[in-house]
Chains A and B, each alone.
Chain A
Amino acid sequence: MPRIPTKFFGDRECDADSIYTFPAGLPGFEDQHSFCFLTTPASEPLLFMQSIATPNLCFVMLPILVVDPDYRVALSEEELATLELPSGGTPAIGRDILCAALVCSEAGTRPTVNLMAPIVVNLKTKAGIQVIHGESGYSHRHPLRLEEELVAC
């Protein structure tokens, strides 16, 4: 099985079925079209979106329902077409599509997730897109709820 170099996990096995194609890339990364998703038991519930072309590019994500169990994503006809999903359909998160939010944690600030622009992929056809829903009311800097750290005395 082919192996790809990854940012955090050394070389990982990655067959063609595990590679997701983003026809438009992502904003800021328009030339990145191929990613695979990595998880490990030791890093649940985090999800890693590793670039196939650039080993040093790996996004840290959280499944959207982990952040907000009531999250709703309304896909436009154009987005459904890019995702190779039936017109007029309402795909189910977890069954038809994977929907995840990018985590951002700049130094000295509280980690946030971008709920305004989630990553959505078709679990069957492996087509992917970052949907940008400025009108959705969801924040691009939704603060993550974290437990307080215990300080050792």
Chain B
Amino acid sequence: MLIMWRRAGESLLVGDGIEIEVLEAKAHRVKLGIVAPASVAIVRKEARITREENLAAALSADRGMIETLLRRLPGAVPAADTTVTSSKN
């Protein structure tokens, strides 16, 4: 990993078309300004992670997974009867 120190008002360049400027630096967070071509996607890392986790969660949600959870989650009702009896929540 390349590491460099920057002060508020200073920038760095990535390749030919991307500039990242430190606009403001506080004790626990920094405000960045980013100039990049429209073709470059810029997302917060945690948003990308959440997207990937959501897709994986949707894909992994199946009856086998539910049965495993109900069998092994502490305090879960054993899945002896999986028929739905209640109406809406």
Chain B facing A: main interface SS: helix
Q: Tell whether B87 is near chain A: CB-to-CB under 8 Å.
A: yes
- B58 near A29 with CB under 8 A, answer yes
A42 CB contact (under 8 Å) in B44, B51, B71, B83:
B83
How distant is the Cα of A103 from the Cα of B57 in the complex, in angstroms?
6
- The verdict on A99 contacting chain B, using a C-beta distance below 8 Å, is no
Within 8 A of A (CB), among B45-80: 45-47, 49-61, 63, 65-66, 68-77, 79-80
Contact between chains at B74 and A145 (CB < 8 Å): yes
Contacts of A36 in B (CB 8 A): 88-89
Answer whether residue B85 sits at the interface, using C-beta atoms and an 8 A cutoff: yes
Q: Is the CB of B89 within 8 A of A37?
A: yes
Whole-angstrom distance between the alpha carbons of A75 and B50 in the complex? 17
Contact A149 B72 (CB under 8 A): yes
The contact of A140 among B44, B50, B81, by CB within 8 Å, is B50
Verify B69–A60 contact, CB threshold 8 A. yes
Measured between alpha carbons, how far is A10 from B59 in the docked complex, in Å? 19
Task: Evaluate contact between B74 and A147: CB separation under 8 angstroms.
Answer: yes
B84 within 8 A of A: yes
What B residues does A114 contact at CB under 8 A?
50, 53, 57
A96-153 residues with Cβ-Cβ distance < 8 A to B are 102-107, 111, 114, 116-117, 130, 132-134, 140-141, 144-149
Using CB atoms, name the residue of chain A closest to B78: A42
Contact flag A144-B73 (CB < 8 Å), given A59-B57, A117-B46, A134-B46: yes
Interface presence of B39 (CB below 8 A): no
Shortest Cβ distance from B86 into A: residue: A40
Given contacts A140-B53, A144-B73, contact A43 B66 (CB under 8 A): yes
Whether A68 sits at the interface, judged by CB under 8 Å, is no
Q: Which residues in A have some Cβ–Cβ distance to B below 8 Å? A: 7-10, 12-15, 18, 26-29, 36-46, 57-60, 66, 102-107, 111, 114, 116-117, 130, 132-134, 140-141, 144-149
Nearest 7 CB-CB pairings of A with B: A134-B46, A27-B51, A146-B72, A28-B51, A104-B57, A28-B54, A117-B50
